[in-house]
Amino acid sequence: MNKKTASDDSHDIGIFSIFLFQGLTETQKSLLADQCGGQIGIAHWIAGFAPIVSDFHASNEREYPGVFAYEIVESMGQWLGENADATPTEFNAELSRRTSEWIANQSTSDGAIK
């Protein structure tokens, strides 16, 4: 079981931005590049959601059954690509739902959230 460790908030936000971006499919990146003004625009848009992830991660006292960035944050990037008009509230609700489901399913063979 991986337990969260304390780290610098800006460091976490940078890491979570990377994993959110990594979760986007190539098709999503192509479509979003047109909407956001290129790759830098996508990165800027994604970075706006990373503090939500960082705050959620820092305040969530539960023990994770794996690596939060791989299992949850990356999949949230793909979710954002599918829900590009999502509000921060909607994003946070989906993040919470996926995390709760992941923890509840920790006894399954892979525990990944689809």
Domain membership flag for residue 22: yes
Domain membership flag for residue 76: yes
Whether this model's pTM surpasses 0.95: no
Inform me whether the pLDDT recorded for 9 exceeds 80. Answer: no
Closest CA to 112 of 60, 55, 74: 74
32 vs 43: CA distance, rounded Å: 10
Q: Which domain holds residue 79?
A: 9-104
Per the structure, the count of domains in the chain is 1
Inform me whether the pLDDT recorded for 101 exceeds 80. Answer: yes
| pLDDT reported for residue 55 | 94
| pLDDT reported for residue 4 | 47
Domain membership flag for residue 2: no
Question: pLDDT for 58-94, tens place per residue?
Answer: 898 788 888 999 999 999 999 999 999 999 999 999 9
pLDDT level of residue 6 (50, 70, 90 thresholds): very low
